[in-house]
């Protein structure tokens, strides 16, 4: 489908940059970003002050050691 949109300059520049990096058309990148933005937010509950997210059964476990290793790399 072809249409004309008015897009803020900062948004256009980001989409153009992503399109160049991925070697894809602007419309393709903009459609992907719009789809992601329209997806339902992940469901979560609260335990005290902290959100608790439901994860897939095969999700990797992140240990304090893993976090420390990543901090050391930064």
Tens digits of per-residue pLDDT, 16-64?
999 999 999 999 999 999 999 998 877 888 889 999 988 888 999 999 9
C-alpha distances in Å from residue 71, one per residue of 2, 61, 63: 46, 17, 13
Are 51 and 44 spatial neighbours (Cβ–Cβ below 8 Å)? Answer: yes
Helices (H), ranges, the chain: 9-22, 26-38, 64-73
DSSP H or E segment with residue 31? helix 26-38
In a domain, 49, yes or no: yes
Domain range for 54 is 9-73
In a domain, 31, yes or no: yes
C-alpha–C-alpha distance, residues 37 and 9, integer Å: 19
- pLDDT score, position 63: 95
- pLDDT score, position 43: 81
In a domain, 4, yes or no: no
In a domain, 3, yes or no: no
């Amino acid at each position: 489908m072809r249409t004309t949109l008015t897009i803020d300059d900062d948004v256009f520049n980001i989409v153009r940059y992503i399109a160049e990096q991925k070697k894809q058309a602007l419309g393709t990148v903009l459609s992907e970003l719009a789809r992601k933005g329209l997806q339902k937010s992940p469901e979560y509950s609260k335990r005290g002050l902290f959100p608790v997210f439901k994860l897939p059964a095969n999700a990797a476990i992140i240990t304090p050691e893993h976090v420390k290793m990543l901090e050391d790399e930064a």
